[in-house]
Structure 1
Amino acid sequence: MSLTQQYVLDAHRARRHGEPAPPAPGTHDWQVLRELRDYRRFRAVVAGRPAHGRIRQALRRWLHPRRRSTC
């Protein structure tokens, strides 16, 4: 069953029971992503890691690896 079919089924059930319809799929996606970002930042701070710029640092290490001396 697809997401849209499940939504239509839930909306139909809610209407039959006189309850408010559920939110449409994708309505709160941005809010969920923001909350996930905030949670990950919080967990980073609690663990003693930097909370900002972790993705950029990882990309920088991957794109511009430091040359190691082979002496």
Structure 2
Amino acid sequence: MIRMGRYAKIYFRLIGKEHIDEIRKASRVVVGNLTHSEQILLIAILYKLDEFHDSLYRMNQESRNLLDNVYKRLNS
């Protein structure tokens, strides 16, 4: 399982101890049967995709132009 970072610890303090067990169960279900290495790789890939999509969002383009412009950007 992935170790808790600073923000996760703060979050757990805010929500209270009564919910931690349920959150741990949900976390275990989300990662399924991935190994620790696979979990770390998944996080890295999702982070990279998030950065990519966030950069597109920040371009603030009209939706009718978005697909073509992103496609051009990927293939340039």
TM-score bracket for the superposition, by shorter chain length: 0.3 to 0.5
- Flag the structure with higher helix content: 2
Question: Which structure carries more relative contact order (alpha carbon 8 Å, separation 6+)?
Answer: 2
The two structures have a TM-score, normalised by structure 2, of 0.31
The two structures have a TM-score, normalised by structure 1, of 0.33
